[in-house]
Amino acid sequence: MSLEVKEKTQVRVVFLGAAGVGKTALIRRFLQDSFEPKHRRTVEELHSREYDIGGVKVTVEVLDTSGSYSFPAMRKLSIQNSDAFALVYAVDDPDSLEAVKSLRDEILEIKEDKYAPIVVVGNKADRERERRVSAEDALATVEMDWNNSYVEASAKENANVVQVFKELLQQVNLPSRLSPALRRRRETFPKDTDFRPPMNKTNSCVLS
């Protein structure tokens, strides 16, 4: 008799990244379909929405965090209590991509899980003239080196914002997303291998 893995009906997604990269703008665009061009400093805000996924009611919590590094304890708690992570940088700010690298290391350390569900988001893709981070370089680093998902988005133009959330929710244990057999197979992958599953769909670990 196979042991059935309990599917999550509540998922917390956290948005992390340097100040001013557009975390709040992405969340607001997704939840309210609005855009506020003026940057407003966030300390921490939790949004909650209920969705029907495959006939099951699922509560999706979205945590918006501060980009300030003056709240390390708060950030650690946010990481501990979340199931999936959107690491946001701005395509016109290379330093913000460096911040994403250190945030990713912090998540892997706190979660003790190298397959934590992570989506790296290059926001402000509408600023093509000011771009200082190449999409090709970022894509290669994120997908090939880190084995995480990568999405370029624009909260301003509402480009790929829904895709960011879709990627996040596909990587956590939601109803009808992963079959138990696929879960078991994924957990038996060799730890060190050159094998690269497509888009990290099959090797993100179930977080309890």
Segment holding 150, helix H or strand E: strand 149-152
* Strands of the sheet with 56-65, listed across from one edge: 44-53, 56-65, 10-17, 84-90, 118-123, 149-152
**Range scoring the smallest mean pLDDT among 10-24, 36-50, 77-91, 179-193:** 179-193
Q: Return the pLDDT at 20.
A: 94
Q: Specify the pTM.
A: 0.79
- Could you tell me the residue ranges of all domains in the chain? 10-200
CATH topology of domain 10-200: Rossmann fold (3.40.50)
Query: Percent of the chain having pLDDT more than 70?
Result: 77
Among the ranges given (10-19, 28-37, 148-157), the one the predictor scored with the smallest mean pLDDT = 28-37
Q: Taking residues 42-71, what's their average pLDDT?
A: 83
- For the segment 159-183, the average pLDDT, to the nearest whole number, is 72
Q: How far apart are CA 200 and CA 174, in angstroms?
A: 16
List the one residue out of 178, 198, 207 whose CA is nearest residue 84: 207
> Residue 70's pLDDT is what?
65
The mean-pLDDT minimum among 40-54, 83-97, 173-187 falls in 173-187
Mean of per-residue pLDDT scores for the chain: 81
pLDDT at 184: 44
Other beta carbons less than 10 A from residue 156's beta carbon: 18
Q: Band of the pLDDT at 72, cuts 50, 70, 90?
A: confident
- Kindly state the average pLDDT of the residues 132-136: 96
